Chains A and B, each alone.
Chain A
Amino acid sequence: MAKIATLAHLDLTPEEIDRFTGQLAQILEYAECLQEVDTSGISDTWRSPTDRASLRPDEPRATLTNEQAVGNAPVPAVRGLFRVPKVIGS
């Protein structure tokens, strides 16, 4: 469970790990019934009802301004750049 939490980028508390361990075990046990279905030769790629050729022309067009793109940053942007904790030389 701790390994999964690391993969999921979640800093879970010991209490959360304990609770999720039980609940996930219960859900996965329930999902075991899928194993009784013979799926040999069955596609694992769901074919949606949508057609395949819904591509738009690849043409340049207006996008967000830098001000709009960084406007919602939780720590105010500096010179139009997002700020994050130090990652180099730490």
Chain B
Amino acid sequence: MTDQDWTVTNLRRAIAQRDIAAKTVCETFLDRAEAAQDQLNVFTVILREEALAQATEIDEHLDEWRDRPLLGVPVTIKDVLCTQGAATTGASRILAGFDPPYDATVVTRLREAGAVIIGKTNCDEFAMGSSTEHSAYGATRNPWNVERVPGGSSGGAAAAVAARLAPVSIGSDTGGSIRQPAAFCGIVGLKPTYGRVSRYGLLAFASSLDQIGPMTLTVADAAAVFQCLACQDPQDATTVSRPVDDIATALPGNADGTRIGVPRSILDGQSGVDDEARQAFETSLSTLEQLGAKVIDIELPHLQYAIPAYYLVAPAEASSNLARYDGVRYGFRAPNDTGDDGLDAMYNRTRDLGFGSEVKRRIMLGTYALSAGYYDAYYRKAQQIRSLIAADYEQAFAQVDVVAMPTTPAPAFRVGEKVDDPLTMYLGDIFTVSANLTGLPAINLPGGLTRDRLPLGFQLMARPFDEATLLSVGDAYEREAPWWRERPSGL
């Protein structure tokens, strides 16, 4: 087995058969992670001792562990997910040093599945951003070109997989935060249906939009990890009782006869898709047509309003969720606080010093959108638009099985290019936010490289709880267009 074949499926089989020790696998990835840290800044913490102890436990008691679906597979966890015994900060100063007294449900499930957690990954503060530049730990760099951003907010998670520092990362996606960095880094990223994966232990950003999902090299790997994550959780009342599909039966994938909807009018309109991204998208569609899929034009008339609706709903929910960070119960309290000027002054000073600029901007925007006199014009209107967008998709899915779009209008932008221009940064989320506004599942597939060898993403969306179709069509596509085998130069 060469390093190139260190996918989840291959690793678990090799470890189960004692072809390779879990500890050897773990050490290899830990060594790479540590070596890459100066250049890429992928991790907020690398958990060498804990990871090696867990890998050794698996090797020494292999008979007890052998049947676990992620046996000995190294995994990274985005720093917005609680991990007992490892600091969880949301890449924010305001949670500096927070040591969660419990694991997030997805973390518990990964541990039970035999995965080995090797570190926490960097992200935009509280998952707010599209570049992983808004982090208290500094910016993460794109392994394909260190002058470029890895995307965000799960930028460290995407960079880790792309740079082969881990075969699996767990990210969160509120407006594209799994799929956009997956696109910028040339990997697979799955945002499951709202309600399919528990958010217990996720630092809440926008509770009606947040989802957790896998980021991997291949579709089969994403399927294996998704199968472990999906469940009904008594700790998260939004999770559903509906049984989880047996994804293994959807693989190997098949796109023969699949009806693929393409919203041509938004692609040709003001979405700002650049020439190379458009060309790669058309090539991906042709690949699927060669596999027997049928491409159909669809209309999503309200999709053009998705960004303004999203950037009112998400900050409104964030302003409410982030009210809990007040310097009393956890994290950071403003220094030199004598308490002489009262509780409110302590709150206000703590929050101004503890939050970064993007988070403060969104709290301000959200507070405004919810405030008396503006609620109807902004928040209520945005929620109504959300219903209209959901109805558009419902109509589309009466005619097609999946909807295809580029994941982003262009490849990764330069570090610093948009950091002071929030609106331009937001406009890049045109193709990702509607999956969150509607709760629909969506996947990024590596969909090509630009002339400058920057990855481009191909996105598919499906009906609620139809991850099986996304993974099946995605797997069929990947076999014809194995872009995941390309890797950043210098690796």
Contacts and interface: CB of A to CB of B under 8 A. Distances in A.
A31 B99 CA distance: 39
Interface string B347-365: 1110110010100110111
Contacts of A23: 361, 422-423
A74 interface: yes
Contact of B311 (A31, A42, A86): A31
Interface in B319-360: 319, 323, 326-333, 337-349, 351-352, 355, 357, 360
Contact of A10 (B234, B327, B352, B365): B352
A50 B348 contact: no
Nearest to B366: A8
B308 A51 contact: no
Contact of A12 (B238, B326, B352): B352
Interface stretch (B173-181, B378-386, B402-410): B378-386
A24 B312 contact: no
B385 A34 contact: yes
A87 interface: yes
B385 A48 contact: no
B305 A50 contact: no
A86 to B, nearest CB: 6
B233 to A, nearest CB: 9
A73 B339 CA distance: 16
Contact of B364 (A5, A47, A73, A74): A5
Nearest to A64: B101
Size band of the interface chain B makes with A: 35 or more
B108 interface: no
Interface in B229-272: 232, 234, 237-242
B309 interface: yes
Interface string B205-239: 00010000000000000000000000010100111
Interface string A31-72: 101110101001111111111011110000000100011111
A7 interface: yes
Nearest to A19: B357
Main SS class of interface, A? loop
B6 interface: no
Contacts of A44: 380, 383-384, 387
Contacts of A9: 323, 326, 344, 347-348, 351
A73 B380 contact: no
B343 A31 contact: no
B195 interface: yes
A75 B339 CA distance: 12
Contacts of A33: 305, 308
5 contacts: A9-B351, A34-B378, A50-B194, A50-B240, A73-B328
Interface of B: 97-99, 101-102, 193-195, 208, 232, 234, 237-242, 302, 305, 308-309, 311-312, 319, 323, 326-333, 337-349, 351-352, 355, 357, 360-361, 363-365, 367-368, 371, 377-378, 380-388, 390, 422-423, 426, 437, 439-440, 464-465
Given A34-B385, A37-B381, A50-B240, 19 more contacts: A9-B323, A9-B351, A10-B352, A10-B360, A11-B349, A16-B352, A27-B423, A33-B305, A34-B378, A45-B387, A46-B390, A49-B439, A51-B195, A54-B240, A54-B241, A64-B101, A73-B329, A85-B342, A87-B343
